A and B are shown apart, each in its own frame.
Chain A
Amino acid sequence: MGRYTYLAVLAGCLLAAVWLEPLFRVRVLRRWRRLTLTVLPVAAVFILWDLAAIAAGHWTFDPDQTLGVSFGPLPLEEALFFLVVPICALLGFEGVRASLRRRAATTPETTGDPTPDGAAGARANRQAGPSGEPACSTAGGPE
């Protein structure tokens, strides 16, 4: 793969996670403003760490396995890493949350419904959504 090695790894990470957006409807990429406000500050801080580590000689990059485009000592791929990894982490996090919500919504009520129409009660509960949803919740938002 030569000089595309690092870039290929980043592409692999994105491919492994991006399908969650349409299939799990995690709405990470759709909420692009919040995504930008999250990813850019984090990337800035960690790129500073990276630059300090390169300056201190903690790590170096193989020029034969990167494109050769760089910002000072920072290869383009290493900068992209700090965009790709946070986006993948957010897709995974919202994917887990979506599947937890789905499970909560389909699990039958186990608390024994005293009303004769138990199904209707369960349906009402389902519409109300799982209680105690933490502050990060976005499940009930409009599609």
Chain B
Amino acid sequence: MSYTAAAVLGVALAAALDLWVLRTRLLARREFWLTYPIIVFFQLLSNGVLTGRSVVRYDPAAILGLRVLYAPAEDLLFGFALVLTTLSLWCWHARRSGDQAAA
């Protein structure tokens, strides 16, 4: 599987987790779409340093070759899946515990 295919699959799984498994429905909420542009700005910045300075190098055969600020476009999908999964699980814990775990 190429990185491209893995990244698309990752986003699909993260969306399924949010919408149907944990049912946190962040993808339908304003807070998420107000937060994501802020996160993506910092992601482009930090990822741009990592890829621009070749801290991380990608196999050209595993990616489409489309790059955004040095980083392969696939990284945006990877980051989206990571962030959505994190926020979804965070909200799921909040709902489950009724925020009892505020200690």
Contact = CB atoms under 8 A, between A and B. Distances in A.
- The answer to whether A and B come from one shared complex is yes
A35 B91 CA distance: 11
Contacts of A86: 82-83, 86
B66 interface: no
Contact of B31 (A57, A89, A93): A93
Contacts of A96: 31, 34-35, 38
Contact of B90 (A52, A57, A62, A136): A136
A116 interface: no
25 contacts: A9-B49, A9-B50, A13-B46, A33-B101, A33-B103, A34-B101, A34-B102, A39-B86, A53-B3, A56-B1, A58-B6, A59-B3, A59-B57, A82-B82, A85-B82, A86-B82, A90-B90, A92-B35, A92-B39, A93-B35, A93-B87, A135-B94, A136-B91, A138-B94, A141-B99
Interface of B: 1-3, 6, 10, 24, 29-32, 34-35, 38-39, 42-43, 46, 49-50, 53-59, 62-63, 79, 82-83, 85-87, 89-91, 93-95, 97, 99, 101-103
A39 to B, nearest CB: 7
Contacts of B6: 49, 52-53, 58
